Structure 1
């Protein structure tokens, strides 16, 4: 395998156990790795500097355990870094100022390393996270897409629900952190009826989608040209709600779906993607979404191991991939 000199830089939080699965593989291959949480580590002894000039671009990352020449980074794995929230010792506008300077400064440096291979590039991740862009791209890529309405108009939402005899579901367009009585609360996909739609819809865009009469769900985890399919059987509309009740097993990905996955991935320039589908009894696959940075280590061991090795291969090979 071609080898670009230098380290793999992993951008993630300190509690990301999924990244450890890949890091153990890289350690066994003696690939040097540096781990950084750009949202928090600068407040715990890390520092980042970059120089840009007519004849050069260079930079240094210093952590309590090592010093890394940024021009020698072969790959960057953008896993699950913490958000840029600013130093915890600051309040109000000072903290917001520091947080935004970090987002644009630190984030900009880490997104512009010369010659590095990104999995995925953070700007590509962000572009691919918008639900309307996902649906528009899925349709152009040849996927079957359930009829979907994104609106803040109560009347349109009620009319859409009334036109769908099989029912509609509500999905948030973004998984915003939400708390009820101080405790984290998830907003799951749920079925809604016209009379449940109120003027609260006018407060922000809401996403309503035709309910697919599915036999099961499918997850297709993509690493480059490699596809890893999993069938998910769950008693819940949203299988994420009670994962302890779901069953998951490998499944073959239809050729037509694989073709559309490739077109979708090329459009957003994704190396990695987690595609979700609703599959009907006659084996019709409906695109639901693609998380460009979705979790994958919860799948059966044979899939988890294959995905981990595929990611490690990309990171080890670097820009020659």
Structure 2
């Protein structure tokens, strides 16, 4: 199902779990743009955007390609490098940026069900008394360490969804 629209993958360059899915998408000839927003947007990539009533467009430029944001079929947020801000930030400013990320992360977790995520790795803590406590639903849980049959099945399921894109 190649309609020319790209899959945007936001992850670090050492994400072997993403590599498994990206190989499948490449075999299927699905265009993919891989960007690490925590690092690339400060060095080798740029994003420009225009928002008007009823019109949103933009361009993501990397060292190897230019992506029209209106032609993105799906986005996979895997494991981007943590945002540390641009070079030259003072330690105080860097700490402030990191502290602001935590409340945002909590708000995102609260809305996961509303976002209808297709994949989630749930983390719990179980006390010695057997009480379960929910920690997080991780949409980017590691799974490439599973037995080959399991890894292959998960990779195919994620690649199928990324290739398909949204139902809208």
> Which residue in the other structure is 1:127 paired with?
109
**Is contact 1:273–1:291 with CA below 8 Å preserved after alignment?**
yes
Q: Distance between the aligned counterparts of 1:34 and 1:292, measured in 2?
A: 19
Task: Say whether 1:293 aligns with 2:140.
Answer: yes
**Is contact 2:16–2:144 with CA below 8 Å preserved after alignment?**
no
**Two-structure CA RMSD over aligned residues (Å):** 3.3
Report Cα offsets for 1:81-139 as digits up to 9, x if no partner.
12221123332355568x58xx8xxxxxxxxxxxxxxxxxx97993159xxxxxxxxxx
Task: Say whether 1:309 aligns with 2:160.
Answer: no
Task: Rate the CA distance shift 1:128–1:19 in 2: closer, same or farther, 3 A.
Answer: farther
Instruction: Indicate the SS of the match to 1:61.
Output: strand
> Which residue in the other structure is 1:61 paired with?
60
Report Cα offsets for 1:182-241 as digits up to 9, x if no partner.
xxxxxxxxxxxxxxxxxxxxxxxxxxxxxxxxxxxxxxxxxxxxxxxxxxxxxxxxxxxx
**Is contact 1:86–1:96 with CA below 8 Å preserved after alignment?**
no
Report Cα offsets for 1:128-176 as digits up to 9, x if no partner.
59xxxxxxxxxxxxxxxxxxxxxxxxxxxxxxxxxxxxxxxxxxxxxxx
**Is contact 2:7–2:33 with CA below 8 Å preserved after alignment?**
yes
Instruction: Indicate the SS of the match to 2:150.
Output: helix
Unaligned stretches of 5+ residues in structure 2: 126-131
Task: Rate the CA distance shift 1:124–1:308 in 2: closer, same or farther, 3 A.
Answer: farther
Report Cα offsets for 1:219-272 as digits up to 9, x if no partner.
xxxxxxxxxxxxxxxxxxxxxxxxxxxxxxxxxxxxxxxxxxxxxx85662211
Task: Say whether 1:318 aligns with 2:168.
Answer: no
Instruction: Indicate the SS of the match to 2:109.
Output: helix
Please give the TM-score of this superposition, normalised by the length of structure 2: 0.78
Map residues 1-321 of structure 1 onto 2, 5 A cutoff. Answer: 4-93=3-92, 95=94, 126-127=108-109, 266=113, 269-275=116-122, 290-320=137-167
How many equivalent residue pairs? 159
Choose 1 or 2 for highest CA Rg: 1
**Is contact 1:6–1:73 with CA below 8 Å preserved after alignment?**
yes
Please give the TM-score of this superposition, normalised by the length of structure 1: 0.43
Q: Distance between the aligned counterparts of 1:124 and 1:28, measured in 2?
A: 37
Question: How far is the alpha carbon of 1:300 from its aligned partner?
Answer: 0.8
Unaligned stretches of 5+ residues in structure 1: 104-121, 130-264, 279-285
Q: Distance between the aligned counterparts of 2:37 and 2:74, measured in 1?
A: 16
Question: How far is the alpha carbon of 1:320 from its aligned partner?
Answer: 3.0
Considering Cα pairs closer than 8 Å and 6+ residues apart, tell me whether 1 or 2 has the greater RCO: 2
